Amino acid sequence: MQKKRAVITAVDHYVPDKVLSNFDLEKIVDTTDEWIRTRTGIRERRILEHGATSDMAAEAARRVLANRGLTANDIDVIIVATVTPDMFFPSTSCLVQDKIGAKNAWGFDLSGACSGFLYALITGAQFIESGMHTRVLVIGADKMSTITDYADRNNCILFGDAAAAVLLEPSENMSEGILDSILRSDGSGGKYLYMKGGGSLNPPTHETVDKGWHYLYQDGKSVFKVAVIGMADVSAEIMKRNNLTGKDIDWLVPHQANLRIIDATAERMELDKSRVMINIDKYGNTTAATVPLCLSEWWKAGKLKKGQTIVLATFGAGYTWGSALVKWSAEDAKV
């Protein structure tokens, strides 16, 4: 069988209209715009007022299909990376499948937190490379506002809502598409970033709700220390094993959790800041959506072009982290 490469042929995103700025948060918790900006790089984030994760995911999916000139019936698989599914079951993937009318598709949700999109992208690529499927929608979508405690200043300043998606298709050109990946996990880090209640360990009760266990908990300092090393390590490693230097990389596409983590990763890769995709200032941390949201914005602006070499890098709850080396294959956007 002819070997195949999985390539990204289309990208798009959906962000809600409502903006929650640092100044808005100053009125809710004891914080300042200055503290948030200097510690994280965030100025504002988006909040979905009505609807659920599947609504944002479905809209991102529709936009991807429109860009590629396809209908929902052309899709074989839908993978939704999310930690804020509409409900435990059915999967958000099934809800999206129904909402967009993808009658020929099967799919599933993937729980990889901030590395969810990267995990899903590499999983989706396997269906293409094996020859099993020809069109896989990979969506990163999170409505973080539903698991954020807006009385907790440590965390409520960080997160926002968004969805973004890419389409994977096969190519016989082995020098484009998803060229390499490094995926890692370390469950011993689970205790530093989690949602304690609502699952089979601590099913929801009045007590779990009173204790706020239905909200995200993060020990930011501990996560920061590991994230800054983890994301830089896998980015440097993927460059080294592909004999690349900073000059060979057109864009670093990092998970957007903290500008200081992004800067440290770029520095380790010896990459000029002008070649790092950063939109944390506008959206905060949208968990599974950050990486495809960057791809989509840069592609639409005409800055991410066909043939460019990019490195995706993530770190998140689990711990989960990883990197991917990608030769961008979508036709250039009409700017």
Angle 129-133-139 (CA atoms, 0-180°, nearest 5)? 90
Q: How many residues bind ligand UT7 (CB under 6 A)?
A: 20
Task: Dihedral sign for Cα 6, 8, 10, 14, please.
Answer: positive
- Contact with ligand UT7 (CB under 6 A) among 7, 58, 114, 277: 114
Residue tagged active-site, from 94, 114, 156, 294: 114
User: Both tokens of residue 194?
Assistant: 């989690």
Minimum separation from the CB atom of position 172 to ligand UT7 (A): 37
Distance CA 125, CA 202 (A): 35
Site mask, ligand UT7, residues 289-308, x = CB under 6 A?
Answer: --------------------
- Say whether residue 118 binds ligand UT7 (CB under 6 A): no
Q: Which is nearer to ligand UT7, 224 or 299 (CB)?
A: 224
- Contact with ligand UT7 (CB under 6 A) among 19, 26, 31, 90: 31
- Say whether residue 261 binds ligand UT7 (CB under 6 A): yes
- Say whether residue 279 binds ligand UT7 (CB under 6 A): no
- Say whether residue 157 binds ligand UT7 (CB under 6 A): yes
Stretch of 35-43, 52-60, 104-112, 183-191 lying at the interface with ligand UT7 (CB under 6 A): 35-43
- What is the maximum span of the chain, computed from C-alpha positions, in angstroms? 62
Minimum separation from the CB atom of position 185 to ligand UT7 (A): 14
Residue 71, CB-side half-sphere exposure with 13 Å CA sphere: 4
Minimum separation from the CB atom of position 192 to ligand UT7 (A): 9
SS3 call for 162: strand
- Residue 157, C-beta contacts closer than 8 angstroms, at least 6 positions apart: 22, 25, 29, 31, 36, 40, 42, 284
Residues 231-260 that bind ligand UT7 (CB under 6 A): 257-258
104 is catalytic: no
255 is catalytic: yes
Decide if 140 contacts 117 (C-beta within 8 A).
yes
Angle 220-325-62 (CA atoms, 0-180°, nearest 5)? 80
User: Both tokens of residue 103?
Assistant: 């009658």
- Residue 162, C-beta contacts closer than 8 angstroms, at least 6 positions apart: 13, 14, 15, 16, 46, 56, 141, 142, 283, 286, 289, 290, 293
Q: Which is nearer to ligand UT7, 154 or 171 (CB)?
A: 154
242 is catalytic: no
Q: Which is nearer to ligand UT7, 35 or 150 (CB)?
A: 35
User: Both tokens of residue 304?
Assistant: 């991410």
- Contact with ligand UT7 (CB under 6 A) among 284, 316, 318, 322: 316
Picking from 294, 301, 284, the residue whose alpha carbon sits closest to that of residue 326 is 294
Stretch of 14-22, 69-77, 219-227, 264-272 lying at the interface with ligand UT7 (CB under 6 A): 219-227
- Say whether residue 285 binds ligand UT7 (CB under 6 A): yes
Q: Which of the residues are catalytic?
A: 114, 255, 285
Binding interface with ligand UT7 (CB under 6 A): 31, 35-36, 39-40, 114, 153-154, 157, 220-221, 223-224, 227, 257-258, 261, 285, 315-316
